[in-house]
C-alpha cells in the first residue's frame, strides 16, 4: 500500500512540476509581449505627432524604405491589435495553468497526509 501511495505522490509531483514549467514559460511570454506592446504604443504616439506630409522610413533588412505615414500608422495599429490578442490568449493560458497548479497542490497535500498517516501507523505496529 505504501509503495502505491509513494508512486501516486511521485506522479502527482511530476505533473505539478510540468505545469509549473509551462506556467513560467507563459509568464515569460507575457513579459515579452508586454515589452513589444509598449514599444509599439510608443511608435504609435510618435507617428501621431507627425504632420501629414512627414517622411517615414521602414527598416527592411539593411535598407531604409520610404513609407506613407498612413500606411505606417495602419501597420502599427494592426501590430498592436495582434499583440493585444496574443496577450489575452496568454493571460487565459496563465489563469488555466494557475488553477491546474492549485488542483495539483491540493492532490499533493492529500497524498502527503495519507503518506504521513501510514507512516504513523507503521511506526506504532
pLDDT at 121: 79
pLDDT at 125: 65
pLDDT at 66: 95
Whose CA is closest to 2, among 119, 104, 123? Answer: 119
pLDDT at 124: 78
Residues 6+ apart with CB under 8 A from 86: 33
pLDDT at 114: 86
pLDDT at 123: 80
pLDDT at 1: 56
Instruction: Tell me the three cell numbers of residue 108.
Output: 499533493
Looking at the structure of the chain, the number of domains it has is 1
- Cβ atoms of residues 41 and 81 within 8 Å: no
Digit-coded pLDDT (tens) for 28-51: 999 999 999 999 999 999 999 999
Q: Which residue range is the domain that position 92 belongs to?
A: 2-124
Q: List the chain residues with pLDDT less than 70.
A: 1, 125
Q: How many CB atoms lie within 10 A of CB 100?
A: 17
Three-state secondary structure call for residue 110: helix
Q: How many CB atoms lie within 10 A of CB 120?
A: 10
Q: The domain that contains 50 carries what CATH number?
A: 1.10.287.370
pLDDT at 89: 98
pLDDT at 96: 97
The DSSP letter of residue 61 is T
Amino acid at each position: 500500500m505504501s509503495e502505491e501511495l509513494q508512486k501516486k505522490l511521485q506522479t502527482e509531483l511530476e505533473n505539478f512540476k510540468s505545469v509549473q514549467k509551462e506556467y513560467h514559460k507563459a509568464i515569460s511570454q507575457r513579459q515579452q509581449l508586454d515589452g513589444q506592446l509598449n514599444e509599439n504604443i510608443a511608435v504609435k504616439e510618435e507617428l501621431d505627432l507627425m504632420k501629414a506630409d512627414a517622411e517615414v522610413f521602414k527598416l527592411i533588412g539593411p535598407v531604409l524604405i520610404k513609407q506613407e505615414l498612413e500606411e505606417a500608422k495602419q501597420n502599427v495599429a494592426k501590430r498592436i491589435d495582434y499583440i493585444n490578442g496574443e496577450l489575452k490568449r496568454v493571460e487565459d493560458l496563465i489563469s488555466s495553468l494557475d488553477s491546474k497548479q492549485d488542483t495539483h497542490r491540493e492532490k499533493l497535500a492529500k497524498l502527503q497526509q495519507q503518506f504521513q498517516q501510514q507512516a504513523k501507523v507503521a511506526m506504532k505496529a
